[in-house]
Amino acid sequence: MVKTTTLRRLEVLALVAIGGFAGANLRYFVGLVTPDVAGTLLVNVLGSFALGFVLYEAIHTGALADETRAVVGTGFLSSFTTYSTFALQTVQLEPLWMLGNVVASYALGFGGVLMGRWLALRLDGSDASGVIAEWGEP
């Protein structure tokens, strides 16, 4: 029993590491193609959408394995998205651009999570038309 538990933990650790490697490399590639603030905004919005989907898919359908959620959510997306770069780039902007970047990042990030939730509910066969109205429900 202890051996099995240890092996499962090592398996998940390896999967998170693989996901982190992939996410970090894709983040680097996006930075080459879309540098600076635009690239950071892009990866953070895409990451918000993907994490919203993974979370609400787990709640509503559970079709993805726990290991898949670990490799995608904890490994890949935590390396792909970047709050620290967002914060650093934001304080280097002129005040009006700084405000615009913060507003755009949070609005589009929350919007991404809601769209991920909408997609997860659609795949579940649920009526996703009232997603925005259901703020308090998971």
Reported pTM = 0.86
Identify the pLDDT of residue 125.
Answer: 77
Identify the pLDDT of residue 136.
Answer: 54
Query: What value does the mean pLDDT take over residues 8-30?
Result: 96
Binned at pLDDT 50, 70 and 90, residue 127 comes out as low
Q: Which of 34, 29, 45 is nearest to 83 (CA)?
A: 45
What tens digit of pLDDT does each residue of 68-122 get? 999 999 999 999 999 999 999 999 999 999 999 999 999 999 999 999 999 999 9
